[in-house]
Structure 1
Amino acid sequence: MADNRDRSWAEPYKIKMVEPVQMISREERERAIEEAGYNTFLLRSRDVYIDLLTDSGTSAMSDRQWAGMMMGDEAYAGSENFYHLEEAIQKYYGYEHIVPTHQGRGAEHMISQLMIDEGDFVPGNMYFTTTKLHQELAGGTFVDVIIDEAHDPENEHPFKANVDLNKLEDLIKEKGAEKIPYVSIATSVNMAGGQPISMDNLKKVRELTNKYDIPIIHDMTRVAENAYFIKQREEGYEDTPVKEIVREICSLTDGATMSAKKDALVNIGGFLALDDEELFKKAQNMVVVYEGLHTYGGMAGRDMEALAIGITESVDEDHIRARVGQVQYLGEKLIDMGVPVVRPIGSHGVFLNAKKILPHLSQDELPAQTLAAELYLDAGIRSMERGVVSAGRNPETGEHNYPDLELVRLTIPRRVYTQAHMDVVAESVEAVYQQREDITGLAFDYEPEYLRFFQSRFKKR
């Protein structure tokens, strides 16, 4: 078919295996969400019709990846699949050394323990829950240096993940470069709504950190999606292949943590990638204590093979265009329906503006958590809160952190759902929006110490 943007497009794959799903009755959904304490994480998957909780480990693998799984070398040491993975990372990302981990959290733990000392400060372009917690457990304090536009869900800035260079340099001058172990840079910033950082901004961050001899550690979970936005939005990159943009992004950093369960299209796995050989040797030694031998970390050989193939597929032009395109499709439908969402539409999900949808609920009434529960009740759609519950408590005062953004994330797994599923989701969101004034809030019923959004339970007020 000719490349005509005015004509309909289809997913660049065809389906050869299906997993049946069903929508249980309204009465059953009411019982299920009440038993789950109004926390969508505690629902059983069999009770969910369309699962938009996360894109982490929920994507569909390709026939080539499944074929690669059959080539798993499960040797305890020196697995052939490790070397295939190492080669793929060096080819597409450019990092010299890799340490495989069970998922991104393992890499976050290692880099935090290896680089952060008590009393350090870690600047970054908006926090992510697990990243920030690992930094705090290592004795550091996360400092948000993202541009102000990122905290405004209605601002149309095309690169809301950009670093405010003045904020960053002011922090370095105030605390001293020796108290900044590294700058934490995420591509496609999750908590901002899947928003990208521009290549120009990243180059300026690199120039500034070079001035003070501070490394950059890259959270590259969704780097291909960020690269696609650079191709679409940044002057000079419109004709550059996504894979080349990905490689350039990585070249501006000193190392990376990767949850391969997102961009790289696998159900489990991750790695720590480093250019510094001495730091790599320390990480190699550390992984044996916490994950597994340095040639498998927390992964089976078959999973490393699927990951090596997934890295290649993640930078395919047709794949990334369709992947982000499906997210844009849902977002544009909701905008046309008048539903308040984070704009511009991000890379991996559509983020509903719960503050705007439920303005009669204060943040103490947990509007995003409430909205996520209501979406499940309406049509069996599972989504995720990204607001005051996810933000946790101030470790010094014990009070809630109150983020500017109070969001519900409709996260689209890769290669899983059709456009018809997106239509069902949009209609459900619209239905809930239309009866928003009748919705009442929630209160905490149980709260764990760490990462409370995973396991907290709530009750109706």
Structure 2
Amino acid sequence: MQTAYPAEPYKIKVVEPIAVTTRAERERFIADAGHNTFLLRSDQCTIDLLTDSGTTAMSDRQWAGMMLGDEAYAGSRNFLHLQQVVRDYYGFRHIVPTHQGRGAENLLSMILIRPGDFVPGNMYFTTTRAHQERNGATFVDIIVDEAHDSQVELPFKGNVDLAKLERLIDEVGPSRIPYVCLAVTVNLAGGQPVSMENMRSVAMLCRRHGIRVMYDATRCIENAYFIKTREAGYEDVSIADILKEMMSYADGCTMSGKKDCLVNIGGFLCMNDDELYQKASELVVLFEGMPSYGGLAGRDMEAMARGIIESVDYAYIHHRVSQCRYLADRLAAAGIPVVRPTGGHAVFIDAGAFLPHVPQDLFPAQALAAALFVEGGVRAMERGIVSAGRNRDTGDHHRPKLELVRLTIPRRVYTYAHLDAVADACIRLHERRDEIGGLEMVYEPKVLRFFTARFRPLAA
């Protein structure tokens, strides 16, 4: 009999001690970090839910593969293995390894974008938009409107609104749209998936106008799982086969292997077009390394190849998504507002609803993340006005409709008992939420400010 929340489909072989701290210590830690959880030290955090990027626990087979690293400068056999695995599971002809996903974003943006272009996408992501804007493009959000409402229950809130995309094409012309950036899943909407039907429709529309479709495939396995469990006709289709069909509707993808490829470092850029591959192979030498390693050691490419194979195992991905659902269900049962439906990599608390007395310009999600660390030693991430940054023309804040705190669950790292500790801390904090005040920013970097900005508290 299947339980509502399946047990971990793995045994624990190696353990790592975690910090046990006092409240007074945590108050000092967060003050020293400028109330920015990114500036905390990892050994100050009891349960670290800052990100699922590179925080995966690798398998014994991946660690064994690390010992087979071929560290040749060119033509490593590990690259050849990774290349074949990508072709087998993703279906793209060409792969250019990069040190991580933003390396692939950089290559793609530099090759395809010209100043004055427009890049439509199903909600922005921070580094993706930064690379697009750095190369002269304007990002245009074409996600369905429901994605901006945390409480709307829709199985595929990551879908592209085809009318919005067609309207943009009519307004600017297809020649000013180098590609559509389709994220599968959509991180800042709460880890929301895109349906196969929507991917197919986007591909048909774009091919009719000669526009490329490039996926942000960072969490594509999670997206494949949601298609299997939510979209009619895919109940009996394997994760691997769903993944292969998903990728067939794209011209290429950027991948941060630090997520769904189950590794601690690495990424790649994929494509089918020979000319685009040639340009990427030339440019990667300047920014990353040879086209056959792209900033990665042979052992890292071997671990990634093996991680891709492991990632399509249903027992693994079912447990991963169930952990997210478990934490979300516990919070929702206590009246804590979370993004619905639950995504596949994190639980997102609606900080605007959690702290309605804190105006958005006083950074409620940042304040809530800092307070959660003090309460329970839980490190989470702000995903709201701080992450959105500023309008490059007006200098004013971008003000997203979603003001969120992301509780991101690393792959194969924590147990349900750890998630209970997280839930308990959130519940205690919710019971005295009126005590949490806003923040003011005292240091703001010009680019991707959420990483290193510093804050100080205002009176509640």
Structure 1 length-normalised TM: 0.99
CA contact (8 A) 2:105 2:131 kept: yes
The 3-state SS of whatever aligns with 1:73 is coil
Aligned equivalents of 1:365, 1:8: Cα separation in 2: 37
Compared CA separation, residues 8 and 363, structure 1 to 2 (3 A) = closer
Compared CA separation, residues 118 and 8, structure 1 to 2 (3 A) = closer
Q: Structure 1 residue 408 and structure 2 residue 384: aligned?
A: no
CA contact (8 A) 2:5 2:319 kept: no
Q: Structure 1 residue 65 and structure 2 residue 62: aligned?
A: yes
Across the two proteins, how many residue pairs are aligned to each other? 458
- Alignment match of 1:95 (pick from 87, 92, 97): 92
Q: For residue 183 of structure 2, what is the aligned residue in structure 1?
A: 186
CA contact (8 A) 2:85 2:305 kept: yes
Instruction: Report the CA distance between 1:338 and its aligned residue.
Output: 1.0
Q: For residue 196 of structure 1, what is the aligned residue in structure 2?
A: 193
- Alignment match of 1:383 (pick from 380, 384, 387): 380
The 3-state SS of whatever aligns with 1:158 is coil
Q: Percent identity?
A: 60
Aligned equivalents of 2:210, 2:259: Cα separation in 1: 31
CA contact (8 A) 2:5 2:323 kept: no
Aligned equivalents of 1:294, 1:141: Cα separation in 2: 29
Q: Structure 1 residue 128 and structure 2 residue 119: aligned?
A: no
Aligned equivalents of 1:244, 1:338: Cα separation in 2: 39
Residue type of the partner of 1:43?
A: L
Equivalent residue runs for 1:49-448 within 5 Å: 49-448=46-445
Residue type of the partner of 1:295?
A: S
Aligned equivalents of 2:71, 2:80: Cα separation in 1: 13
Instruction: Report the CA distance between 1:6 and its aligned residue.
Output: 4.4
Where structure 1 has 5 or more consecutive residues not aligned to the other structure, the ranges are none
Aligned equivalents of 1:164, 1:134: Cα separation in 2: 23
CA contact (8 A) 1:165 1:205 kept: yes
Q: For residue 25 of structure 1, what is the aligned residue in structure 2?
A: 22
Aligned equivalents of 2:4, 2:173: Cα separation in 1: 55
CA contact (8 A) 1:114 1:282 kept: yes
CA contact (8 A) 1:23 1:379 kept: no
Compared CA separation, residues 238 and 362, structure 1 to 2 (3 A) = same
Aligned equivalents of 2:137, 2:217: Cα separation in 1: 21
Instruction: Report the CA distance between 1:7 and its aligned residue.
Output: 6.4
Q: Cα deviation per residue 1:108-133 (whole Å; 9 max; x = unaligned)?
A: 00000000000000000000000000
Instruction: Report the CA distance between 1:8 and its aligned residue.
Output: 5.9
Q: Which runs of 4+ in 1 moved over 2 A?
A: 4-9
Q: Cα deviation per residue 1:347-366 (whole Å; 9 max; x = unaligned)?
A: 10000000000000001110
Where structure 2 has 5 or more consecutive residues not aligned to the other structure, the ranges are none
Q: Cα deviation per residue 1:43-94 (whole Å; 9 max; x = unaligned)?
A: 0111000000000000100000000000000001111100000011000000
Instruction: Report the CA distance between 1:460 and its aligned residue.
Output: 1.0
Structure 2 length-normalised TM: 0.99
Aligned equivalents of 1:231, 1:290: Cα separation in 2: 38
RMSD of aligned Cα (Å) = 0.7
Q: Structure 1 residue 40 and structure 2 residue 44: aligned?
A: no
The 3-state SS of whatever aligns with 1:257 is strand
Aligned equivalents of 2:89, 2:290: Cα separation in 1: 24
Q: Cα deviation per residue 1:436-457 (whole Å; 9 max; x = unaligned)?
A: 0111110101000100000000
The 3-state SS of whatever aligns with 1:84 is helix
Aligned equivalents of 2:292, 2:16: Cα separation in 1: 34
